[in-house]
Amino acid sequence: MAYEPQFSISLRLLSLVESVAALRERIQSATVELMDQGQAGRYRTRIIGK
């Protein structure tokens, strides 16, 4: 018995989902960059503070 989906995705919906996924990826990578810069700042502070 072949699988028959109950719903189909329109091209418009697929486009929106792809846009949301791309935006989420950009936000996530920007957050990682900020966290990395924050970590570097903490290390510099610790070295200078010694």
Q: What are the pLDDT tens digits along the chain (50 aa)?
A: 899 889 899 999 999 999 999 999 988 888 776 666 665 555 544 444 44
Q: How much is the pLDDT for 19?
A: 97
Give me the half-sphere count of Cα atoms (radius 13 Å) on the Cβ side of residue 35.
6
Q: Which two tokens stand for residue 2?
A: 């072949």
pLDDT computed for residue 37 by the predictor: 63
d(CA 37, CA 32): 9
- Measured between alpha carbons, how far is 13 from 24 in angstroms, rounded to an integer? 16
According to the model, what pLDDT value does residue 49 have? 43
Look up the pTM and report it: 0.54
